[in-house]
Amino acid sequence: MQREFSRNQRMSSLILRTLNKIIRIDVDDPSLHEITLTAIDLSHDLSIAKVYFSSLDLNGDIDIPKKGLNRAAGFIRKRLGSEIKIRHVPELRFFHDQSSEKANEISELIRKSKVN
């Protein structure tokens, strides 16, 4: 019988939950208070994790939280290694998740088309 979820998907889910907890509780950087991690894309060998984040402050500069995440990456990775027991903790690379902005743009286009 085939597994419902692959190891990669299970690890992605575990890492995402753990990273959100670490950032919320352990990281003291005020630039990271308004972000949430939305998705993780793990490489096949689990060595690199592309971590996608979105900001609750839609008008703010997205480079500020990205720089904060990059500054704290070593600390976050170390905490991740102590929270979950895996042989090699993946390298964390942070990217802005633009899906909410795209959804807002599409919603606005639909709203405008209904008015006309």
Residues 80-97 have pLDDT tens digits of 999 998 889 999 999 998
Counting residues of the chain whose pLDDT is more than 90, the rounded percentage is 51
State pLDDT tens for residues 18-45. 999 999 999 998 888 889 999 999 999 9
pTM for the model stands at 0.80
| CATH at 73 | 3.30.300.20
Instruction: Summarize the confidence of residues 43-69 as an average pLDDT.
Output: 87
Q: Which residues of 9-28 are buried (b: 16+ CB within 10 A; e: fewer)?
A: eebbeebbebbeebbeeebe
**Structural domain count of the chain:** 1
What is the pLDDT of the chain when averaged over all its residues?
Answer: 88
Note down the domain range covering 79. Answer: 7-115
2: in domain = no
- The CA–CA distances, whole Å, from 26 to 23, 79, 105 equal 6, 9, 34
